[in-house]
Structure 1
């Protein structure tokens, strides 16, 4: 049996630890090493006893002619008693193999060495004066042999060895020194030192060897534990077939996996066992056919997946194998390993589905849609055809979320996905991109009319009412369409083109579809440039306010002005609000711009005489900011403008955002004393409930009604009369917007409107011109 190597990674062994004077770093390991040291001393206890008794007999025989026999016998009896006691102590040491020993147990071996050294050391000290040179040499040789025997028998117990050899060497050297035999004394000391050094080396090697064995044993236990855990937790098995592909030496685990006995499997065709109930019908899976081909080719293979029917349940196995040949190169068959990967495959399928399908609707998600679109584009390029892509955005869906909550909105999205799925054929794939955005990949879009019909069908289908939790909901859809290769050759460019087309559909009010046009890209680029410039417009003082007069209808007296925002760009020229206000709202720039407008308008109005009011338009986006009330209050305080001279104009769209807290912010503003006007009444989501719930000061009638009514169209006339009557009953004023002609002026006066605003009385004027109008007190400030 070879000795295991001592690992180089073992920590150094200190002398104190080796002697048992100090505990080692690893207490458990050193406890087991000490047990091994004691066991080694136990095994050589009889050898040491025999050496002591034989040595004592030799000394008695040598000294009996010159020393009194009774003295020798007394000394020999004491020595025998000490040797027997030491041997008995060693033999009583329990077998501690694999156990642990304490430091105190090792330290007690010191007394064994001292007891033997004291009795043997008495011989040269007591009897040296009686001996002649030949006798002295004989005594020295006996004592030297005993020191060697102790070095052999007690070396694992280093403390006992050191005590015995050290004390005995001193006892031998002292008489030699007194007899002036200095060379002999030095030789004795050197001999003892060499024995002690050799014993220390042997003791250290003994400890290191056992430390190595313990380390290797722990590693073996760890490896065995890991192997047992692997074997218990895995469903792997070994299989072997002969050259005829028949199973040989079926392992119990393989047989258990097949629900058969090993004896029944031996000799069966391997493919028959795997085919199970499909063997007779010959309806083999693709994986089994691939395995048959691999076995036929006699080559190594791995990770071959195939479905297996076990007790009527489908399982998935992975097979790997290598061919076997004898010394002459004769093919003997295959030997391989199989494993049940059903759970792993199911987990992989779940992960795949989570990565590529939307959890809310079950539709393909953005990643899956992009992958499908890329494949459709590749196929279209290969076959010289076209692929299409549709972006779908739900109209008025945000209002459902804001008013009824996200749970209702989520269920509504589920209903939408069901309707969309029913419209799809094998040529299309519908997916959800996120929020209320969906997309359709049209694999073959060679027929534009078919794509157009699908877009219209989607809009019509999604616009039908929904019944969700006892709520009847009405939403709509806007669609943007892009087709390859005209609108893009890659998935990224085609998606961008469809998104631009969708944006155009939303701009047109929704409920329509729009195909991509190159002009849309130019518009998007212009929009991007405007956004970049708008972010710096305030800092560069490019924004300004113009003021349009508002006069009393009956007398023409100036009642105030409406502050209208203008953007004068040094390079792009004058940019109208219709081009940049929507950008400001989408980019959240409307809040700082709106704050600047409010402060500037209040500062200007504070210079006006009397009770002239200033009206400021407020975006619904501003009212979602809880600090808006603070902004208005601060503008009034800093400008010292009385609150009743400031009028905020809001559109009906504000009331479609009840979930955002806009109405609550309006109430807080009204508490400051500020007036509130409902702008563009009748053009949006008109409801009498808004008028009854909110403290409006006036209602502004949109210009479209004024123009139509002046032409004699009965419906607008009836609407204006109804609005005026309603406003009077609620104590509100009415302002007719867009009055430009004498006929329009006469008509709105006849209908009873309170105030008039329009080009007839003045265009929006710069600050200086507006001040001049106020100074002249003119009521008919026509713009040139």
Structure 2
């Protein structure tokens, strides 16, 4: 630093001062700096060299201000300002250097700053004089603050007392209490002096600590088995290096504690005499930090790792798999089926207990090397770091599914939930944690689409299907505005007279972009996005308007989803459709499936009871294919039970189980005062069979396919 600055000044003085003078000045700067370096290297002999330190600073400062006073008037104002800039750089560098004796930097900056200001006043330039004084004050402040934050100065040559920890370098905190203590060792790193606070921290008397190895003291009862931070301390002290704020775990009375130590080597006449340092106990803050870290990475309810932790572990597993070409890792996404129904019907306390029980069962199934966690809500996940054997993964998936569907006894309740699992394998199915998680989620969606309690591995085709679904959703959102939706009506006939007694309104979509779209594709999208609510309201109004022109004894049946029933405006929309069309309430039949009772059974039943109070009837559709809770048949007064076509076709094909189910349901419905409708009847044989069983109404292609309102109206004209 001094060399480059000296060359810069020499260049400024070239042509204005005699070469011999410049050379003599350069020699003076070099000698002053050589003297200062010698003093710095023997900085531990402070008691004998303190006056020399001051003298070195003074000589160095005088050497640097000499050019300004000697040649400032000759080189002109601009060059003099440039010379001052070099001096300012020297002052700033000195302030930032943090030497062992900071008073010397005060001397250097003070002499250079005051001398420069005095010259500028002499040269009638008060502005630059003010700048020189301001810069000197700034560098002095920097020296004070830097010294205070890094290494508070102790009086040169002074020996620290037991209660004067605040004056030692590398303090843990400023203060004189027992929480902040100091220590001193000899050249063999054995304690020679400790403060009362240090003794209290170890639980021993100060006299008992003298002569004990600091490293062995930190290791505690585990002789020679110091923790990793203790090893770092030993290495630092072995190399005689400074250390500051070194946190480490220690043993006190065979209990783990956390200390933070700082220290520096000391020398006497160039010979290493030991260490002096400070310390404090940071156990409470460390425990708090660990608690906060755990809260950030673990779920408070189940104690399992949370999404952030799972992502971190999965990313690490993927990295290891990338390093070992034949290795693979797997990620399982697990979603509890019907969990929301538990929360809604039994309360969140039971739901929380259920989640904790699920967590316990998951822990039982996985290996020690695997990690299970709670992803969100009723979703869990498992990271399998070693998944080269895919058969093992498939076996684990089946075990988890079979275990989670077992009943849970919670208080006075027996709870049943299912579990659907989607899984992906890295790096085959993705090279990043986010990609693997997304692909496992796509597989989970496919598993839930198939049926409850199923599992599915990710396939590349799922992306195309998800993209198709996304585009369909966008198109469906504008389908009503484009008049792409319309209703088809399928007749329902009396089983004996075969006369039309009602029609079921069925939604159809002919997209201008995709053509006819199957209800099996767009109805689930409408329900998931809640588009089914405005679409369902439109269906209700259109169906009632069409039925108003039919004979008074013909009814209209409209399918209603669970999302519609939970909408607070559902009942008012039904009343509005009846009022607008003029249709009598008893001619409107609301069809629901058993799945409506899985979300919020109480609200669903309340909504149905309200429309029944208006005069409408309610039919239970697809009976036997869902969850068949007979308790709802007792609670709700359904007008009709509709038998699913799978039972009708099975019974007609000679399946004894299907035939027995049909007989049982018809008998039960008759005893409850309910009518039965057989769906999916396509042949005369099936017509005769369901009529013989006692079904009152029949619906199917045998009597007519779904057709538009004009075709339905034509049936009455023909009769």
Using structure 2 for the length normalisation, give the TM-score: 0.73
Query: In structure 1, what is the equivalent of residue 272 of structure 2?
Result: 331
Paired with 1:572 and 1:531, the residues of 2 have a C-alpha distance of 12
Aligned residues: 548
Query: In structure 1, what is the equivalent of residue 627 of structure 2?
Result: 685
Query: In structure 2, what is the equivalent of residue 251 of structure 1?
Result: 195
Paired with 2:259 and 2:661, the residues of 1 have a C-alpha distance of 76
Query: In structure 2, what is the equivalent of residue 88 of structure 1?
Result: none
Contact 1:542 1:569 in 2 (8 A): yes
Cα shift readout 1:253-278 (whole Å, capped 9, x = no counterpart): 22332334444444544334434444
| Pairing of 1:426-465 with structure 2 (within 5 A) | 426-465=368-407
Query: In structure 2, what is the equivalent of residue 305 of structure 1?
Result: 247
Q: Give unpaired runs (5+ residues) of structure 2.
A: 1-165, 168-172
Query: In structure 1, what is the equivalent of residue 354 of structure 2?
Result: 412
1:242 counterpart (178, 186, 193) = 186
Question: Is 1:467 matched up with 2:409?
Answer: yes
| Pairing of 1:487-566 with structure 2 (within 5 A) | 487-566=429-508
Contact 2:443 2:456 in 1 (8 A): yes
| Pairing of 1:749-760 with structure 2 (within 5 A) | 749-760=691-702
Paired with 1:466 and 1:580, the residues of 2 have a C-alpha distance of 35
Aligned to 2:505, the other structure's residue is in SS state: strand
Larger-Rg structure: 1
Using structure 1 for the length normalisation, give the TM-score: 0.67
Paired with 2:713 and 2:595, the residues of 1 have a C-alpha distance of 33
Query: In structure 2, what is the equivalent of residue 181 of structure 1?
Result: none
| Pairing of 1:7-406 with structure 2 (within 5 A) | 231=175, 235-278=179-222, 281-326=223-268, 329-384=270-325, 385-406=327-348
Paired with 1:271 and 1:437, the residues of 2 have a C-alpha distance of 48
Paired with 1:707 and 1:668, the residues of 2 have a C-alpha distance of 35
Paired with 2:262 and 2:174, the residues of 1 have a C-alpha distance of 18
Greater mean alpha carbon deviation, residues 661-670 or residues 248-257: 248-257
Paired with 1:625 and 1:564, the residues of 2 have a C-alpha distance of 21
2:683 counterpart (738, 741, 749) = 741
Paired with 2:652 and 2:188, the residues of 1 have a C-alpha distance of 101
Query: In structure 2, what is the equivalent of residue 476 of structure 1?
Result: 418
Aligned to 1:661, the other structure's residue is in SS state: helix
Please give the root-mean-square deviation of Cα atoms over the aligned residues, in Å: 2.1
Contact 2:338 2:598 in 1 (8 A): no
Cα shift readout 1:108-144 (whole Å, capped 9, x = no counterpart): xxxxxxxxxxxxxxxxxxxxxxxxxxxxxxxxxxxxx
| Pairing of 1:637-716 with structure 2 (within 5 A) | 637-716=579-658
Paired with 2:397 and 2:305, the residues of 1 have a C-alpha distance of 19
Paired with 2:619 and 2:246, the residues of 1 have a C-alpha distance of 75
Aligned to 2:175, the other structure's residue is in SS state: helix
Paired with 2:219 and 2:494, the residues of 1 have a C-alpha distance of 95
Paired with 2:464 and 2:545, the residues of 1 have a C-alpha distance of 39
Paired with 1:309 and 1:270, the residues of 2 have a C-alpha distance of 12
Query: In structure 2, what is the equivalent of residue 71 of structure 1?
Result: none
Contact 1:624 1:660 in 2 (8 A): no
Paired with 2:436 and 2:569, the residues of 1 have a C-alpha distance of 41
Paired with 1:613 and 1:277, the residues of 2 have a C-alpha distance of 88
Contact 2:178 2:197 in 1 (8 A): no
Contact 2:318 2:426 in 1 (8 A): yes
Aligned to 2:648, the other structure's residue is in SS state: helix
| Pairing of 1:578-589 with structure 2 (within 5 A) | 578-589=520-531
What is the deviation of 1:658?
4.8
Cα shift readout 1:518-575 (whole Å, capped 9, x = no counterpart): 1222111111111111122122221111111112222221212110001110111111
Cα shift readout 1:676-729 (whole Å, capped 9, x = no counterpart): 111112222224432232222222111112212222333323332333333333
Q: Give unpaired runs (5+ residues) of structure 1.
A: 1-226, 778-784
Question: Is 1:614 matched up with 2:568?
Answer: no
Cα shift readout 1:70-122 (whole Å, capped 9, x = no counterpart): xxxxxxxxxxxxxxxxxxxxxxxxxxxxxxxxxxxxxxxxxxxxxxxxxxxxx
Cα shift readout 1:364-412 (whole Å, capped 9, x = no counterpart): 1111000000000001001111111111112333332232222112112
Paired with 2:629 and 2:289, the residues of 1 have a C-alpha distance of 54
Paired with 2:663 and 2:349, the residues of 1 have a C-alpha distance of 43
Query: In structure 2, what is the equivalent of residue 133 of structure 1?
Result: none
Query: In structure 2, what is the equivalent of residue 41 of structure 1?
Result: none
Paired with 1:293 and 1:615, the residues of 2 have a C-alpha distance of 84
Paired with 2:200 and 2:693, the residues of 1 have a C-alpha distance of 95
Paired with 2:262 and 2:500, the residues of 1 have a C-alpha distance of 94
Indicate how the Cα distance of structure 1 residues 311 and 749 shifts in structure 2: closer, same or farther if over 3 A, else same.
closer
Query: In structure 2, what is the equivalent of residue 591 of structure 1?
Result: 533
